[in-house]
Structure 1
């Protein structure tokens, strides 16, 4: 088919009514298709860019959420650390000022019979969030009392850092020691901690005293009666033994019978038996108060009970309870015949 025939055919079609009605639509469709073919690559490229941008934004959002979670965890840790720091700062001085500390120190020393001879508060040294206040102490008292007082004082919630310490006997004062001590105390302005923290504080245990006093004077050897740690009011005289001019008292402590002779030690206040008679035991004690020793005389009177009397060789036994076990002077137990 040549060009002339084609053009002739198109001319015939163009003169038909239906073609005239469809021609605008065909032209619009052609132009739309042509425009799509021209703009489609650019639109598709823009769509791919928007998809990439959307994925990037989603990744940034996910990272921001993770960082926010980490930030919240760090804030919680910081809050916990700050609370621990505040509790530790409060623990340094246990919420008490210097005047309260010195008052408690003096009261504690007085309750144990320890005399504070010197107390100097040195210049405070400013540190991070606190003040270090050195104290110079010199106290005097029996070694046992000084040890118990010192243990009790350092068992307080407040933190004390001990420095130089020197202890020695006191000239002309047997059984007394003088303690010189340098202590660093700490003062803070921390607010009171929570009740939960205070409830977690460990219960303070009573300070145990030493078992021996290396500064005690060499007294007459005692005969193992085991009564030096018993309060005198718990010792009851229930009987008396005599052999010529020698006298012994029978005393009961916690259901056990002991013998006491002149020179034996008894009670907690350095008591020494100075006289034994059929009716009572005379005990001389020494109490350390207000910096000096004070003598005191105590008596154990015979408790009148229904008992038995029986000779033991050349000994006379008077007013002894019938249902107790006797302790021999050497510390062992013997059965007294009744």
Structure 2
């Protein structure tokens, strides 16, 4: 191709409105495409890293959600136990449940073949405010295996 032919193409480009308007877009498209090809591996690597991070965060979220659920169940159990303890305190403060407790002890002992010779309720001992301990003095007659099963039932 000689210089004259190059000049003709340039003259044709200069005269055509369509070519003059499309040429900047074509050059821009080539620059953007070249830049994308150059940066594409980095973007793909960054995308993989962020996907792995997302998977880790989802696992942490699921673990924490399970912990929150377990904690809420434990709090519900704790609230129920506190309510039960408060009810028991009110009944014991009124003296109503001590005789029921002694009756339950005697009935379960008889179920295991034990005979109570003596069952004394000793004085209360206050260890902390709002907490008192009442000791029992128990004398039981029966077989050791029955005593062992009865103690396992009551002491858990």
In the superposition, the TM-score normalised over structure 1's length comes to 0.27
Matches within 5 A, 1:57-136: 57-95=57-95, 125-127=125-127, 129-132=131-134
Three-state SS of the structure 2 residue aligned to 1:15 is helix
The CA deviation at 1:123 is: 7.5
The CA deviation at 1:10 is: 4.4
- Is the 1:125–1:131 Cα contact (8 Å) retained in structure 2? yes
Tell me: CA distance 1:71–1:124, structure 2 relative to 1, closer, same or farther (3 Å): closer
Question: Which structure has the larger Rg?
Answer: 1
Distance 2:46 2:132 in 1: 65
Q: Which has the higher helix share?
A: 2
For structure 1, the residue ranges without an aligned partner over 5 or more in a row are 97-121, 133-159, 165-338
2:8 is matched with which residue: 8, 12, 15? 12
- Is the 2:124–2:132 Cα contact (8 Å) retained in structure 1? no
Residues matched between the structures, number: 108
Tell me: CA distance 1:92–1:127, structure 2 relative to 1, closer, same or farther (3 Å): farther
The CA deviation at 1:131 is: 4.9
Distance 1:124 1:22 in 2: 100
In the superposition, the TM-score normalised over structure 2's length comes to 0.51
Matched, 1:161 2:136: yes
The CA deviation at 1:71 is: 0.9
Please list the CA deviations of residues 92-115 of structure 1 after superposition, one character each: whole Å capped at 9, or x if unmatched: 44358xxxxxxxxxxxxxxxxxxx
For structure 2, the residue ranges without an aligned partner over 5 or more in a row are 97-121, 140-156
Distance 1:15 1:126 in 2: 110
| Consecutive aligned runs of 4 or more in structure 1 exceeding 6 Å deviation | none
- Is the 1:14–1:20 Cα contact (8 Å) retained in structure 2? no
